[in-house]
Structure 1
Amino acid sequence: MNALDLAVAQDATLAEIDLPDSVRDRLGAQLAVVHDPVADIDYSMARYLQIFAQLPTRTLQQIQDFGRHPDTPGVGYVRNAPVDAVLPGTPADGGPSLDKATFVAEGVLLGLSGLIGEPVGFATEKNGQLVHDVVPVKGGATTQTNQGSSVFLNFHNDIVHDASGRYDLASPDFLVLSCLRADHEGVAATYYADARDISRALDPATLETLRSPRFRMNAPGSYVRDVAGGVDVLSDPVPMIAGPEHSPEVSAAANGVHPLDDAARSALDRLQGVCREVAHEVFLRPGEVLLINNRKGLHARSRFTARYDGRDRWLQRAYVRRTQWDIRHRTTPGVRRLH
């Protein structure tokens, strides 16, 4: 699978947000003097709010509305954001980099996150970090994880293993993906398929099957690898599409969906095919950010060639929740992460 195999959607389910040069430069100057944000994340988030509140009012409203309303686009494409003046080598082991002298990229990531919700860390994903370095790792090249590169990362949303058996309950509401460095050839594409577009493209029988609890989601690859000793950990039977027709929610585990019967298996195959038909395609470059609604749609990544030479593709990612109240049973006292 590569970029040429996918059609590219052009409709109102993608919001394009271009920052003027003057705004980029003003943000960059202020972010360049903010120290490592994780040292005092609550203070840093307050400072980022002050900085990003200076965006043009219409731009600020567009970003905030993206996080607020059920009927807004499922993906936002922010261009011309500030970047670090000097960037060290791409981390070889999945990060984080210990050599960054400035934290402009982290400020962009967390500042935009704070306009749509609150960044959250899960202990089973990147050791609970709030800023995830998404880079190719040689040992994970063929995996359906953020370490992969040589295989197409199937359409999915980011889910979290939960003892309740429902992996969509604690999952992030949004992902923010910020590009620090593109891949060598510039061919790595990120895709987003909106559940509204998916539902419209499906035939009624397939849609009805996908709305039935005939699927079990595998836990994320990081959980299976680091916690479960490599053994699949499946959810309770759940539907893949749920909610009202005008505002559907879609769920699909990157690490595998197990259909419970032949009709469910056929529907799952059709779902992946439809995602390819309706997907938006974005080739992220430094200074570009994707705001991804993790409930309104599914995202994917094309394969690309990693060289492991310190100049590979480097994204930063944040998980964002509108509220942590309904997952407060997962909180760790005194630590800003969830177990």
Structure 2
Amino acid sequence: MTATTIQTTIQTTMRTPQTLGLIEVPDAVRDAIGRDLAAEPDPTLDIDRAMARYHQIFAGLPLELLQRILDFGRHNDAPGVGYVRNLPVDAELPATPGDGGPAPDKKTFVAEGVLLGLSGLLGEPVGFLTEKNGQLIHDVIPVPGGAMTQTNQGSTVFLNFHNDIVHDAIGRYDVSNPDFLVLSCLRADHEGIAATHYADARDIVRALDSRTLELLRSPLFRLNAPGSYVRDVAGGREVLSDPVAMINGPEEYPEISSSANGVRAMTTAAEAALDRLQAACRETAHEVHLRPGEALLINNRKGLHARTPFTARYDGNDRWLQRTYVRRSQWTIRYRQTADNRRVHH
């Protein structure tokens, strides 16, 4: 059986960003939050203190906007993706790191404060040693050696519809994975064509026939471990999960799991169902071109996200996003906690 991948182009008409959970920060609020964040030190020096301070700062959001972000994180029927615009940015930004980050010469930490402030309204940022060495802030940057890979270092290939999963020795990669991702833009790609897509599981399920849905709800699939784990730990070999269903949960609130690095269907019928799932993702996906001062709040269980190809020049002005993994609770993954950092896991 062969791994099935998404087409490298999407030819369907996407929904406009207005159909997403759009949150626009007023100019005066943006400027006030930006001034406070610019005065804060590197948050990685004392992350717990920093998260407490960011709670204080983001409490300055208008009540309606603050509640909308909080509701996004706590209600089952909330949208699967939120689009936050007009956020503060650093007055001066260094060159995009050529090695995937972090930038050693960043003078202010407004972008990091935006990222962590939004993350703190959804849960708690966590790290995994097999993803960016356990860092809580992930710099998502094209790297020459990773241009063709299904990882955050890629650029020239379509990054398949997926959710961010975590390799786990228990054989399930959909247990320890983040509940949410926050993606914040520091710098767009040169041509401004890189787009993030999000396909909500509720829309996907509605687009599927009953037989396909039955197959996708059956343990007929094995997820390959994330590309970073395969590259850095497994020496390039596949590390497949136990057989799992790709869609779980009640009909009105489904959860979906898929690996960007490949899914192995265990039967011919399951392979056909996987093809149909991928088509449904293309048919139902939202599209957003992130710009500086914009962020996406992504529910990592309610849907799958993807990224279109773009041209990286490796000239210090390439696309630069920052990302967090967010968990509502770390209690259920306490068996993975490292001895020296309560937020970082094996």
TM-score scaled by length of structure 2: 0.96
Between the aligned partners of 1:187 and 1:195, the Cα distance in structure 2 is 25
Q: Which residue of 2 aligns with 1:76?
A: 82
Give the number of equivalent residue pairs: 339
* 1:289 equivalenced with 2:298 (yes/no): no
Q: Which residue of 2 aligns with 1:317?
A: 323
Asked if the contact 1:13–1:72 (Cα under 8 Å) also holds between the matched residues in 2, the reply is no
- Give the deviation of 1:14 after TM superposition: 2.3
Q: Which residue of 2 aligns with 1:161?
A: 167
Between the aligned partners of 2:12 and 2:67, the Cα distance in structure 1 is 32
Q: Which residue of 1 aligns with 2:345?
A: 338
- Give the deviation of 1:6 after TM superposition: 3.2
Fraction of identical pairs, as percent: 71
Matched ranges for 1:76-225 at <5 A = 76-225=82-231
Amino acid of the structure 1 residue aligned with 2:99: D
Asked if the contact 1:13–1:75 (Cα under 8 Å) also holds between the matched residues in 2, the reply is no
Q: Which residue of 2 aligns with 1:17?
A: 23
Q: Which residue of 1 aligns with 2:4?
A: none
Q: Which residue of 2 aligns with 1:36?
A: 42
Asked if the contact 1:120–1:337 (Cα under 8 Å) also holds between the matched residues in 2, the reply is yes
Between the aligned partners of 2:203 and 2:43, the Cα distance in structure 1 is 37
State the secondary structure of the residue aligned to 1:332: coil
Between the aligned partners of 2:318 and 2:306, the Cα distance in structure 1 is 19
TM-score scaled by length of structure 1: 0.98
Q: Which residue of 1 aligns with 2:69?
A: 63
Asked if the contact 2:9–2:158 (Cα under 8 Å) also holds between the matched residues in 1, the reply is no
Asked if the contact 1:13–1:194 (Cα under 8 Å) also holds between the matched residues in 2, the reply is no
- Give the deviation of 1:325 after TM superposition: 0.2
Q: 1:83 to 1:12 in 2, by over 3 A?
A: closer
Deviation digits for residues 80-136 of structure 1, max 9, x if unmatched? Answer: 000000000001111111010000000000000000000001000000000000000
Amino acid of the structure 1 residue aligned with 2:286: H
* Segments ≥4 residues shifted beyond 4 Å: 1-4, 10-13
Between the aligned partners of 1:113 and 1:33, the Cα distance in structure 2 is 19
- Give the deviation of 1:150 after TM superposition: 0.3
Amino acid of the structure 2 residue aligned with 1:337: V
Asked if the contact 1:9–1:280 (Cα under 8 Å) also holds between the matched residues in 2, the reply is yes
Asked if the contact 1:12–1:73 (Cα under 8 Å) also holds between the matched residues in 2, the reply is no
Between the aligned partners of 2:98 and 2:17, the Cα distance in structure 1 is 37
Deviation digits for residues 254-295 of structure 1, max 9, x if unmatched? Answer: 111000011111111111111011000000000000000000
Asked if the contact 2:17–2:288 (Cα under 8 Å) also holds between the matched residues in 1, the reply is no
- Give the deviation of 1:230 after TM superposition: 1.2
Deviation digits for residues 156-215 of structure 1, max 9, x if unmatched? Answer: 000001111110000000000000000000000000000000000011111111111000
Q: 1:270 aligns with which of 273, 276, 280?
A: 276
Asked if the contact 1:13–1:74 (Cα under 8 Å) also holds between the matched residues in 2, the reply is no
Between the aligned partners of 1:314 and 1:2, the Cα distance in structure 2 is 21
State the secondary structure of the residue aligned to 1:121: strand
Q: Which residue of 1 aligns with 2:311?
A: 305
- Give the deviation of 1:13 after TM superposition: 7.0
Unaligned regions of 5+ residues in structure 2, if any? 1-6
